[in-house]
């Protein structure tokens, strides 16, 4: 059993203004899925993309929009988002405060899958 605070996990900027920390994944022995935490600065966001695996999101703090194709829907603290395999998506911080989001993805062939913009 591993316990660690997310602030002690190093982050990597994966998109403009969006830092990803891997909280529970293959390095922690995760067999099936990976819990990550994204910190998105005002004006930042993840790329609009699609892939054949799902996301399960939980908004910890802040406000933003969830894009899917031409649609935009607001998200805020306490919201959970189920992004199904194949659904276009991207999250943007449209507020003036930090947006923090948990995002869980499945392991694919034992690794955290990559993504490609659409």
List residues near a copy of itself by CB under 8 A.
Answer: 1-7, 9, 23-24, 28-33, 35, 37, 53-54, 56, 58, 60, 66, 68, 73, 75-76, 78-85, 87, 89, 102, 104, 106
In our burial notation (b when 16+ CB lie closer than 10 A, e otherwise), range 32-46 reads eebbbbbbbebebbb
Q: Is 83 within 8 Å of 54 (Cβ atoms)?
A: yes
- What's the closest the beta carbon of residue 64 comes to a copy of itself, in angstroms? 12
- What's the closest the beta carbon of residue 35 comes to a copy of itself, in angstroms? 5
- What's the closest the beta carbon of residue 6 comes to a copy of itself, in angstroms? 5
- What's the closest the beta carbon of residue 55 comes to a copy of itself, in angstroms? 9
The rounded distance, in Å, linking the Cα atoms of 104 and 93 is 19
Nearer to a copy of itself among residue 19 and residue 60 (C-beta): 60
Sequence-distant (6+) residues with CB within 8 A of 87 are: 50, 68
Sequence-distant (6+) residues with CB within 8 A of 82 are: 54, 55, 56, 57
């Amino acid at each position: 059993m591993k316990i660690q605070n997310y602030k002690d996990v190093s982050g990597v900027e994966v998109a403009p203004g969006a830092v990803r920390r891997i909280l529970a994944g293959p390095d922690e022995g995760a067999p099936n899925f990976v819990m990550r935490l994204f910190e998105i600065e005002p004006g930042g966001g993840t790329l609009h993309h699609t892939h054949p695996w799902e996301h399960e999101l939980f908004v910890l703090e802040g406000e933003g929009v969830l894009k899917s194709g031409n649609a935009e829907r607001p998200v805020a603290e306490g919201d959970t988002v189920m992004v199904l395999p194949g659904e276009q998506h991207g999250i943007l911080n449209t507020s003036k405060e930090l947006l923090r989001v948990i995002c869980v993805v499945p392991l694919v062939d034992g690794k955290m899958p990559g993504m490609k913009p659409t």
